[in-house]
Amino acid sequence: MDGSKRVQSAFGRGVGRICAVAAGRTSAQMAAQVCAGVRQTPTIELRLDWLKSDQERASFLRWLKKNRPRNATFIATCRRRAGGGKFRGSVSAELRWLSLARGAGCVWSDLEIESTRSLTSARLAACELPRVLLSHHDFRRTPPLSRISESRRSLAADAIKVAAQARTIADSVRLMRLPLTPKNSHGNCVAVPMGEVGLPARILALREGSALAYAPIDEQTAPGQVSLNELKNLYRAHQLNGSTRVFGVIGDPIAHSLSPLLHNTGFIAAKLNAVYLPFLVKKLRDFLQAACDFGIRGFSVTLPHKTAILKYLEECHPLAEKIGAVNTVTVPPNGSLFGCNTDYVGVLRSLEKRLNLAKSRVLILGAGGSARAVAVALTHAGAAVAICSRRSHAAQALAKAVDGAAMPRSALRHQVFDAIVNATPVGMHPHVAISPLTASELNCRIVMDLIYHPQQTQLLKLAARQGIATISGVEMFLAQGIAQWEMWTKRRAPTAAMRRAVLRTLDGELSRQAAR
């Protein structure tokens, strides 16, 4: 679009539209972050307000003037506390630092709208600032957007940035599409949906014409940010366009999910123009109403929506219908929803290697969507299934559906099973110290936990101490996710690369936990 071309000329092309945020407490920290940032992108925002004193600000600007990397674009920000920053000085002091930043080589200054309320365009011009990016930050909600655009015109700012908390998915769509509105379609508009709900729109904002997308080099400076490395190398935000196929995972919570890592690694390895995003979805209807705005072609479904999604489907695979839960939805061009379930694939592949399922007795903990998938899969394989859940009525209903038995927890110490499968979220990150069962209740040969984050849950640790074989949920996670990937792309998945990426991340987290 024409606006996109103007944006590129103002802030850079391609990866230059990803703005790395340097925010250190000392001049040395800032300098180190700048050096790290320019290895990833030529556009750097300098959060001068994060520096702990005027002495550190002056020291850093001296360093920048002497060592400024060539072909880099610097945006100076000295945001006052009234605008959501850390600078405790006056508006005049802020303007002074932005002017000094210009002398150090910054070609843009980010000036928050709160600081301009007492300024005229004539006084602003007299300050000899770099080009002005007028910014509005609202950390509580998404405000009416039309009035903010008018502020830009009254002060003759060169560009405008709106960063606001997206409390709903609809909020995030409004922000994401702000650069496409008639008042901003000429370019030089930056849209930044904040918060976890706004994260997918934040990643897609460049595709919708936003001049920049921000990512921290080190420490987060706003809610909902993804790291510079992830924004550039995992989500490839600067490469997304109108032809990009968009997929995602919906759930609550969702921040722990490794599905974006799994699927995006596959897209990168296969050189596909596609991206997979994490959607925090509290109300299923809200997401489905916005799916068209995001251009969704398919999505994974996790807790707590695996059963609720059924009533929104136009078609459902017979096995998923029997399971009564869906973890995979395909969205054809006409916008209809087709649901299926790949959870059962991971369960069977994991347990068939260890057990003759046709002659096995298996206890399933839980009676939700994942538990139903496990129960149906194991019953089809010939196993005798028992269901234990804190919701006794749900356990009885699931047991009846698969010709199994409902079992109260009080009976577990006196029962023996070939395998126990945990299909509850108990023990999932961040509540990693909790186990759904005690050691005395693990009377079995194998314990499998569907949780994959962490890879070794407290339940699996208890089992291992008793000499019981364990199966991590990562095996099921990989199998079901790869099945989804192949269903959506109609290609053979690059499984080695996808597995390697997930295991490397999980091993890294384990090492960090051990270091603590």
% of the chain residues with pLDDT over 90: 79
Please identify every residue annotated as catalytic: 306
- Mean pLDDT computed over 260-282: 98
Contact (CB, 8 A) for 419 and 405: no
Instruction: Report the alpha-carbon distance of residue 94 to residue 132 in Å, rounded.
Output: 13
pLDDT band at 134, cuts 50/70/90? very high
pLDDT band at 512, cuts 50/70/90? low
pLDDT of 211 over the 80 cut: yes
Residue identified by tokens 């009533």 is: 311
Name the most confidently modeled range: 24-33, 171-180, 252-261: 24-33
Compare 149 and 73 and report the one with higher pLDDT.
Answer: 73
For 403, counting Cβ atoms within 10 Å of its Cβ (0-12 exposed, 13-18 middle, 19+ buried), the class is exposed
pLDDT band at 8, cuts 50/70/90? very low
Tens-digit pLDDT profile for residues 467-497: 999 999 999 999 999 999 999 999 999 999 9
pLDDT of 152 over the 50 cut: yes
Instruction: Report the alpha-carbon distance of residue 421 to residue 360 in Å, rounded.
Output: 13
The residues near 101 (Cβ < 8 Å, ≥ 6 apart) are 46, 48, 61, 64, 74, 76, 78, 109, 130
pLDDT of 507 over the 70 cut: yes
pLDDT of 102 over the 90 cut: yes
pLDDT band at 181, cuts 50/70/90? confident
pLDDT of 149 over the 80 cut: no
Contact (CB, 8 A) for 249 and 276: yes
Reduce the DSSP state of residue 185 to 3 states and report it.
Answer: coil
pLDDT of 185 over the 60 cut: no
Q: What is the pTM of this model?
A: 0.90
The residues near 373 (Cβ < 8 Å, ≥ 6 apart) are 323, 325, 327, 341, 343, 344, 347
Give how far Cα 336 sits from Cα of 242, 288, 302, 333, 488, Å. 20, 11, 20, 8, 15
The residues near 295 (Cβ < 8 Å, ≥ 6 apart) are 244, 245, 246
Residue 397 sits at the vertex; the CA angle it makes with 393 and 402, to the nearest 5 degrees, is 150
Contact (CB, 8 A) for 476 and 450: yes
pLDDT band at 440, cuts 50/70/90? very high
Instruction: Write down the pLDDT at residue 357.
Output: 95
- Cis amide prior to 304 (ω within 30 degrees): yes
Find the range with the poorest average confidence among 6-10, 384-388, 451-455, 486-490.
6-10
pLDDT of 3 over the 70 cut: no
Instruction: Write down the pLDDT at residue 387.
Output: 98
CB atoms within 10 A of CB 468: 18
pLDDT band at 29, cuts 50/70/90? very high
- The partner residues of 137 in beta bridges, in order of sequence, read 163
Tens-digit pLDDT profile for residues 319-367: 999 898 899 999 999 999 999 999 988 899 889 989 999 999 999 999 9
Find the range with the poorest average confidence among 61-70, 123-132, 206-215, 257-266.
123-132
Instruction: Write down the pLDDT at residue 233.
Output: 97
Compare 64 and 152 and report the one with higher pLDDT.
Answer: 64
Reduce the DSSP state of residue 445 to 3 states and report it.
Answer: strand
Instruction: Write down the pLDDT at residue 118.
Output: 75
% of the chain residues with pLDDT over 70: 93
